[in-house]
Chains A and B, each alone.
Chain A
Amino acid sequence: MKAADSLPANPGASLPQRQVALIDLLDRLLGSGVVLTGDIVLSIADIDLVRISLRALIVSVSGQHPAPWVSGAPHPPTLP
């Protein structure tokens, strides 16, 4: 290994391996982090549609909750 491997090229080197909650991961992988729109896949609008239907699915699994974001509006904060 070269010396550079042992240097903290980025202090992020301490990211521990762990099992994260899927919902936290999906918030990040679907809810943010677009830098690029791929070729094949899906315009931005389509991705939003996927996200919305996916969110609806995740909520509908539990049954009764309406999906407040179906309109496309961010969920309102519930703090009074």
Chain B
Amino acid sequence: MGEALLTHKLEGERLELAASGSWTAPHAGELEALIDRVTGEAPAAKDVSIDMAGVREFDTFGAWLLERLTRQWSAAGREAVVLGLPEHDRGLLAEMHGVNRKPAAAPERQNPIVSGLAALGRGGADFGRNLVVFADMLGAVGMALGRVLLRPREYRLTSTVHQFDRVAWQAVPIILLITFLIGGIISQQGIFHFRKFGAELYSVDLVAILVLREIGVLIVAIMVAGRSGSSYTAEIGSMKMREEIDALRTMGFDPVEVLILPRILVLIVALPVLTFIGSMAALYGGASSPGSMAA
């Protein structure tokens, strides 16, 4: 900071302020503190004059702080005069003169217990509403499925194949990788602990049972939900925003039949297939973990 933004001098009952430098946004914080301090130091002063002749730069922040200062003094029944403000900055000050006249009501401070209860109540109501929406969606899918079964020719096979490619085929590499690693980890950990009892061979059973009965399907299901479920949400959400779904509806198509039914049917077919592939990868991973070679 090269120069002082505001200097003051008390002449009897008159506070004389001299402004200089940049009364702009980057200096607003400093300036605000300075104004508060200077005016607070002279409680006895009746009138104030602010000499703006030394100000090089002046923007709305500076103009508002000046306006606020004069407003404060006038409100207290004292006189505030602004001197030496350059011609081209007067418009700005005049503009600021008109604003903030009706202060906006501060947001209501609520009792935290009441607002907590309100949030809980809203959450419960939302849950109920979501349940209804979900039931509505299930019903719509069921209806669409019924219609398709009655008129199988109208089913969208192309869309189904495309979705199958996305959800099943393109998901194979990542599912292979993750389940392979999981299988390997189970096998390695199993051998590590069973060795204490001389029962390393049982880690084979551990891997087979755990993968085929429990983990295999769970891991794959979670991965499909995370990978495909979220991409569906984003895709259909953006279609809704761009009014594509409304367009479908006005052209006489049922969006559930066109968009949702193929995706759900594809998921129903893809999940068991992916689970099988994933389980095989996990078994292979179990068999090829370093520990199992030694055993």
Q: Do A and B come from one complex?
A: no
Chain B contacts to A: CB under 8 angstroms: none
Chain A contacts to B: CB under 8 angstroms: none
